[in-house]
Amino acid sequence: MQKYVCEPCGYIYDPADGDPDNGINPGTAFEDIPEDWVCPICGMGKDVFVPED
């Protein structure tokens, strides 16, 4: 699965890990995360994330 990077802070969302502290189970694709989810580091929305190269 594709990893995504938060451009402002560099946090990497890895679908294998998810974001369990914020209700995102491991194995959840970035596209399947609710639109109101925010970066756990800087609080920015999904719109600032880009696919990792």
The answer on whether 37 is annotated among ligand-binding residues is no
CATH architecture for residues 1-52: Single Sheet (2.20)
Domain residue ranges in the chain: 1-52
HEC assignment per residue over 1-53: CCCEEECCCCCEECCCCCEHHHCECCCCCHHHCCCCCECCCCCCEHHHEEECC
Global confidence as pTM: 0.93
The answer on whether 53 is annotated among ligand-binding residues is no
Per-residue confidence (pLDDT) for residue 53, from 0 to 100: 87
The answer on whether 9 is annotated among ligand-binding residues is yes
Per-residue confidence (pLDDT) for residue 32, from 0 to 100: 98
Q: What is the pLDDT of residues 1-53, one digit of tens each?
A: 999 999 999 999 999 999 999 999 999 999 999 999 999 999 999 999 999 98
The answer on whether 50 is annotated among ligand-binding residues is no
